[in-house]
């Protein structure tokens, strides 16, 4: 019998999920910053809120980023920013008793290489092995499992100046009627991950500011694009002057934009 498995990924910064078999309580992004040869110690805190045993399996995946497909997880892939070989975690699996709290401890050691510079990363996958639900339909077995992807990010040696570029700014309609958004594609030219927030200022023909909007702060990985969306549905038909600012590490990169709403 052919079986297909649907795996649902949980990418939440705070995972208080009442129906989850196992909960990660201290976040899904862990960031370290240091110099060549330095070792960091970290931990992932898990809780089994259920009344039955839960088997948890730990593994490492590579997260690949590019402008076309965004983020992809693979078990093995060579890329210059991988820190997988720097990782040390002795536990491969653990059975959590009902209501048990478990602290998964790990370390990351930066190689003693003075030439290393930039952001490096690996992803710790936490799979809850006990199926949440099983079904059989027309000869196809389906099982759903909980998987957490925990990002382990390491900045090595002195950071460069922020180097962000506006690759594309495009007005796009939303699926809802009379909704539209301004999509800004940001490219990170530096060696380091940048946490970027965009702000948009819109001025009418008379120079009056009629809209000020900001995005959430998002990570843009080295030599990768990321789209930021700003809602401009409240703008009436007409021509506008806009200023778009990208903020990372309190350094700002800006561009002037002419915007026409039809």
Mean pLDDT in order along the chain per 10 residues (262 residues): 37 44 95 97 96 94 88 86 94 94 97 96 91 50 76 93 95 79 96 97 95 97 95 93 97 96 88
- Domains, the chain, with CATH or none: 6-156 (2.60.40.10), 164-261 (2.60.40.10)
Q: What is the pLDDT of residue 20?
A: 72
3-state secondary structure of 157: coil
Instruction: Provide the b/e sequence for 185-211 (b: ≥16 CB within 10 Å).
Output: ebbbebbbbbebebbbebeeeeeeeeb
3-state secondary structure of 84: helix
Q: What is the pLDDT of residue 78?
A: 79
């Amino acid at each position: 019998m052919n079986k297909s498995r649907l795996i649902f990924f949980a990418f939440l910064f705070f995972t208080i999920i009442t129906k989850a078999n196992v909960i990660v309580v201290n976040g899904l992004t862990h960031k370290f910053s240091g110099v060549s040869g330095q070792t960091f110690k970290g931990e992932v805190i898990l809780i089994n809120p259920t009344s039955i045993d839960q088997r948890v399996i730990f593994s490492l995946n590579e997260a690949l980023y590019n402008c076309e497909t965004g983020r992809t997880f693979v078990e093995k892939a060579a890329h210059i920013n991988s820190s997988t070989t720097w990782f040390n975690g002795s536990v491969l699996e653990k059975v959590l008793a009902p209501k048990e709290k478990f602290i998964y401890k790990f370390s990351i050691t930066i190689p003693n290489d003075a030439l290393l510079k930039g952001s490096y990363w690996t992803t710790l996958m936490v799979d809850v092995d006990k199926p949440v639900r099983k079904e059989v339909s027309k000869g196809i077995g389906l099982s759903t499992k909980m998987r957490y992807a925990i990002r382990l990010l390491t900045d090595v040696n002195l950071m460069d100046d922020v180097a962000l570029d506006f690759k594309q700014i495009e007005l796009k309609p939303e699926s809802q009627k009379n909704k539209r958004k301004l999509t800004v594609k940001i490219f990170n030219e530096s060696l380091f991950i940048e946490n970027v927030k965009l702000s948009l200022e819109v001025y009418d023909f008379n120079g009056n500011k009629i809209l000020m909007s900001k995005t959430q702060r998002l990570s843009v990985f080295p030599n990768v694009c990321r789209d930021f969306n700003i809602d401009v549905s409240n703008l009436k038909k007409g021509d506008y002057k806009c200023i778009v600012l990208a903020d990372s590490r309190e350094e700002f990169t800006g561009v002037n934009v002419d915007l026409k709403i039809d």
